[in-house]
Each structure stands twice: as structure tokens, then as C-alpha cells.
Amino acid sequence: MIVPGVDGYMYPNEVELQWSLLIVLYPYITGLVAGAFILASLERVFKVEAVRPTYRLALLTALSFLLVAPLPLQLHLGHPERSLEMYLTPHTSSAMAMFGFVYLWYLLVVLLLEIWLEYRAEIVHMARTCTGWTRIIYKALTLGSDNISPASLRIDEKVGYAITVIGIPSAFLLHGYVGFIFGSVKANPWWSTPLMPIVFLFSAMVSGIAAVLVLYAASMKFRKVPIDMRCLDTIARYLFYTFLIDFTLEMMDLIHRTYEADESFRSLDFMVHTRLWGSHVILQLVLGTFIPLVLLAATQLWKFSEATRRGLYITASSLALIGIFAMRWNVVIGGQLFSKSFLGYTSYKMEFATREGLLPAILLLIMPFAILLVLVKLLPPWEKRAA
Amino acid sequence: MDPTRRDLFKIGGKLLVLASIGATLEQITGAEPAPDAYKMADHWWGMLIDIDKCIGCGNCVRACAQENGVPQGYYRTWVERYQVEEGKRPVVESPDGGMHGFAPLTREDVKSFFVPKLCNQCANSPCVQVCPVGATFVSPDGVVLVDPKYCLGCRYCVQACPYGCRYLHPGTQTVDKCSLCYHRITKGLTTACCENCPTFARQLVDFKNPKDPVHNFLRHNKVQVLKPYMATEAKVYYKDLDGAVR
């Protein structure tokens, strides 16, 4: 009997994929969060002054995506109403059980607190000068703390610095942990590698830095303000370095698998050459890795005009964003296309207007931008301490 | 006359005293459960499968589906037919989980045999390890169970099972799997699949029962578990398992 979409032999319960497009979104979104935050920390902790114009934008981008991060998981659960049980009765041996705690730590202790401290002086100023409902909003955002004396602001600065320092390992934890969720599944050779957390981490940094670069360039264009090229050059340089490390790690994984060629290799190799050819070889490797790396390398090796550099950076960043999305797709979906018997392959049938279909996925990807618009309106990231 | 607050306290107090006496009486008299009552600590369940005895009739798959209300298209147990030719990759099939048997073989020059599959009731189970809320667990008598009232339906366990034994029940939206007919074996019955196997290819075994024939069987036969390199401490043993089986 021929099962539609199946080649060779799948265990009967394997034919249907269990983790869908929404689970592709989850590591993609958390990666953008971690990457954007790490870019922000360059200015705060490592004193890379050139990226200062993007500091606040990077923080707000991280928050916008972090607020959306749990939604694809919630939508995916068979019983979303029980998700609170992960907090109340976590099963400590589960790699997934810590998600809620890592998420809350990152949201409440790192991002919200850092953003609040960064903006506190302006929030207080707005609460004093605005009228009507905006005054109420800013008043609420002060959380009752309206002391903006120089001494108080110095404390804010110190605490903010400390939080960013804590934030860097937290960002590493957030995304390294997501990688561990996959990398620790010993039943799945496509996932099971100790490199997975670190590959996830560096790919997260690539996607987050690329996202902030594109958002910064787009927002400057929209505001008709000239782009700070020193800032863009610096971000692009960090993007290049991070991308190189990410590429090296992925190649290490590939070379190791190919050379070792264990039982699963033949099956996985066939999958990459057939069902994953488009998303893995074309999108992830060629379009999403080689081309942007070559473009970024070119900007480091030769001198180009500002307009050309801008074009190259934005093209490379956009391709990197597509490439990292393809990477998440290939990990999550690719990891379920082959049978654990190594004797067959199934297909992913993406639906459209269903709970786990394409439509909710598109909406979930648009949502962080809508949140970012509101946040930018409420807490303008353009001028530091304009008040 | 309406009861006063004092009356309510009195009634409540009496109930409390009665309840505590009830508990104490049982302890004082040492009243034990009925002698034939099931004690989890006395059992450690598993299964023996004799591959050469399986004729691929699919009785076990049908019996399991009927006994446990397994939804169509999903399988708590299934039967695979392997056709192994020298120097080639095996050809494996399991149409409808082998529920309706198999079409006659078209070739006679290949080695062919049936392999019944089910949850391996691993003692060191990866599915149990990964469940974020502990909804799936190993019972004290060695059966891997799922609490459908607690399962989130995240399906991490489905990904973690190396044997493909789990699925999301489309009705309950919780993960479902072979429970080794826990509702039957705790009443002294065997599993539906074992009961309906015409050749005794499947045998429910209790490793803690010194009289269980399993001990003698393991002493005198070559057995293997599926994917031993996964180190899951599977408790479904296969007699004369071919190296081609995955």
C-alpha cells in the first residue's frame, strides 16, 4: 500500500509531522531576541560607541519579539490551558520544562528592567509634561519612581550596566537553551549534536544583528534622517565576524557528520539531496550563507561608496535573515522528514488557515513589528536622553 | 429552625472525630487490602516476542485498536514485514499497521519475517525524561503511562521516542501510546494483543514474578531489544531478532 507523501518505510505513527511551522518560528523569534540584545550590549558593556544609535532600537526590537515568542508554542499545544503547569509542576529532567523560567527571567529581570532604567528619565519627564491619556500612560510607566536627580540617574546607570552584564549570559542561556531542546534528543540524529546549542546561539546573533541593521536602515529612511554610516559599518563588521563563526560551526558539524558517516548518514544525506535541497542547499547555504558572507567580506576587503555599502549591507542582512529562517526550518521540519528506522521519508503538508497553518505564522511574524511600532511611538529610541 | 453557626461547628467537629477514628481503626486493626488485590511493587512488566512465531495475521493490531479505542490511522501496536536481500537495504512494509494482514509475497528468494512492534516500556525512558510536566511516567510496576488529564500535548515525547510508538490522539489532543493494557494486567488478565495472538508470538511477562516462564526463556534463548545503543533499558525482548530490524 502506498501512503501519499511517503517514500520507503516510515513507522506508522511517524507519517504525520508533530512539530509544525509554528515550532520553526519559535527558535527564529527567540534567536532574533537574543541577537538584538547582544548587539545592544556591545554599546553598553563593551563600549562600542559606534553602535550607540541602535542601542535603544535593539532593546525595543528584542522586547517586541520576546513578547511574541511564547505565542507559537501556545498555539501549538494540544492543551494550551494547561501550559501554566510548566511553572507549577515542572518536571526537572525535561529540557523543555525550564522554558517558562528562562523566558520569565529574560523578560522581567533583563529586558523590561533594562529598558525601564534606560528610559526612566524620559518617562518621568513625559509624565510631567504630557496631558490627557498619554500622561496617565507615562505616569503608570514611572512605576511611582519619579526621582530623576543626577544621583538617582547615576544609580540607574550603574544598575542598568549590571543588568546588561547579567543579560549577556542570559541571552546566551535563552538561545543556547533552545538549541539544547533539539540537541539533546538522542533519538533524532539530525538534531542530536552537542554543537546544536552553540550553532543556535551564533545563528541567533547573526539573525538579531541583521534584523537590527535592516530595521535601523529602514527607520532612518522612513524618518528621512541620514544613516550614521559609522554605525552601519560597525554593525556590518560584527555581523560578518559572527556569521563567520556561525558558518564555521555549521561546517564543522557537516564535516564531522560526513566523515564519521554513522548509520544515519546515508538517510540524512539522501534527505538533504532530495526533500531538503531547496530549503537547505539553495536557501540556507547558497542564498542565506555564501552570498551574504561574500558580500560582507567584500565590504571588508575593498572600499565602496556609502550608497554601495548600504546596499550591500542591507542585501546581506536580508539574505542572512532568510538563511537563518531556512536553517530553523531545516532543523525543525527536516528533523521529522526521515524515519527513525532510516528507511523512509515523509512530507510536510503545510495548511493555511488552521491553528498551526501558514496564516497564523504570518500573523505571528507581523505581530512583533506592530508591537515595535507602538513601543517606538511610546519610547522613541532615536535620541538618547533628549529630555 | 435554621442551623446556627454553633450547630455547624458541632457537626463539623463530629465529622472530623469520626474521620480520624476511621483512619485509626484501620491502622489499629491492621486491616490489609484483600489478598488478591494488585500490588504495584510486586510486578515489573515487559513482553517477549518470538519473531519466528509471528504470522502477520494482524489480530494483535485489531484487538489493541478495539480494546483501547485507538483512532484510525494511529497505532499502539503494529506489525512490520521485513524482506531482506543479501547486500541490499531491507524492504519494510506495514500497511495499516499490519491490521489486515499482508499481501502474499511476490518473491521467494528473499528472507522474510514479521516483527510486531509496541512501546518498549523502557525503564530509562527518553519520553519520560523530556515531558515538561511529568504527565508521562514509569509506573512502579514498570509500565510507561500517560496521564491524559495532565498532558499538554507539546509532543516532545513523540520526538524523543526512538521507536515511533507515540502519537497525538486527535480526539483528546493529548499524547497516546501502548499502556500494556494496564487496565487488564492489573486485574490479572493479559494484554489484548497477547490474548488474541493465535501463535503465542507475544507473551506478557512479569520480571518480578519468580515463577514467570520468562526467566527460563531468557536463560535458554538468544534475545535482543530494539536499538540497544539507545540505552533505554527496553523491556520488550525479541527472540532471534534479525540485524536488519530497526
A1 and A54 belong to one structural domain: no
pTM summary value: 0.91
Q: Do A138 and A285 belong together in one domain?
A: no
Same domain, A299 and A363: no
Per-residue pLDDT at B3: 62
Q: Residue B2: inside a domain, yes or no?
A: no
Would you say residue A221 lies in a domain? no
Task: Examine residue A217 and state whether it is found in any structural domain, yes or no.
Answer: no
* Residue B1 pLDDT > 80: no
> Has residue A206 been placed in a domain?
no
Residues of chain A with pLDDT under 50: 385-387
| A30 closest CA partner among A131, A106, A117, A138 | A106
How far is C-alpha A230 from the chain's CA centre?
Answer: 24
Identify whether residues A371 and A276 lie together within a single domain: no
Buried/exposed B158-179: b ≥16 CB within 10 Å, e otherwise:
bbbbbbbbbbbbeebebbbbbb
Q: Tell whether B181 is covered by a domain.
A: yes
Residue A1, chain B, CB below 8 Å: the answer is yes
A213 is a domain residue: no
pLDDT computed for residue A327 by the predictor: 97
Instruction: Specify whether A236 is located in the same domain as A331.
Output: yes
Average pLDDT score over residue span B137-145: 98
Query: Which pLDDT score is estimated for B12?
Result: 65
Best probe of the A interface among B79, B159, B175, B229, by most A CBs < 10 A, is B159
Q: Where is pLDDT greater, at B22 or A212? A: A212
Question: Is B19 within the bounds of a domain?
Answer: no
- Residue A80 located in a structural domain: yes
pLDDT in tens, A123-168: 999 999 999 999 999 999 999 999 999 999 999 999 999 999 998 8
The confidence score (pLDDT) of residue A387 equals 38
CATH code of the domain containing B72 = 3.30.70.20
- Any domain includes B245: no
The residue ranking higher by pLDDT, B62 or B5, is B62
Q: Is there a single domain that holds both residue A80 and residue A167? A: yes
Structural domains of chain A, count: 2
Residues A102 and A174 in one domain: yes
Domain check: are A9 and A59 in the same one?
no
Mean pLDDT confidence for B24-47: 75
Contacts of A86 in chain B (CB under 8 A): 132-133, 152
Residue of B nearest to A86 (CA): B133
| Closest CA of chain B from A11, distance in Å | 6
Residues A35 and A147 in one domain: yes
B18 is a domain residue: no
Percent of chain B exceeding pLDDT 90 equals 83
A176 and A28 both lie in a single domain? yes
Mean pLDDT over B69-91 rounds to 96
Does residue B55 sit within a domain? yes
Grade residue B53 by pLDDT with cuts at 50, 70 and 90. Answer: very high
This model of the complex carries an ipTM of 0.93
Q: Apex CA A224: angle with CA A57 and CA A138, to 5°?
A: 45
Question: A250 to chain B nearest CA, in Å?
Answer: 23
pLDDT, residue B30, reads 59
Interface check for B228 against chain A (CB to CB < 8 A): the answer is no
Q: Does B101 touch chain A (CB under 8 A)?
A: no
Helix (H, G, I), strand (E, B) or coil at B128: helix
Q: Three-state SS for B54?
A: coil
- The answer to whether A187 contacts B156, with C-beta atoms less than 8 Å apart, is no
The domain of B169 spans 40-124+161-239
List the single residue in A with minimal CA-CA distance to B82.
A9
Q: Is B123 a residue whose pLDDT tops 80?
A: yes
The pLDDT value recorded for residue A30 is: 93
Q: Which residues have CB under 8 Å from B234's CB, separation 6+?
A: B120, B121, B122, B225, B226, B227, B228
Average pLDDT over residues B47-58: 98
B221 CA: distance to closest CA in chain A (Å): 26
Chain A residues touching residue B163 (CB < 8 angstroms): 11, 340
**Cβ-contact A242, A212 below 8 angstroms:** no
Q: List, as ranges, residues 171-200 from B with C-beta within 8 Å of A.
A: 172-175
The predicted-structure confidence for B144-171, as pLDDT tens digits, reads as follows: 999 999 999 999 999 999 999 999 999 9
In the prediction, which pLDDT does A100 show?
86
Angle at A169 between CA A168 and CA A175, to 5 degrees: 95
**How many C-beta atoms surround the C-beta of residue A195 within 10 A?**
14
Please state, in angstroms and rounded to a whole number, the distance separating the CA atoms of residues A322 and A238.
Answer: 18
Domain holding A315, by residue range, is 1-17+232-349
Give the pLDDT band of residue B8 (cuts 50, 70, 90).
low
Q: How many domains does chain B have?
A: 1
Distance CA B194, CA B183 (A): 14
Are residues A278 and A368 located together in one domain of the fold?
A: no
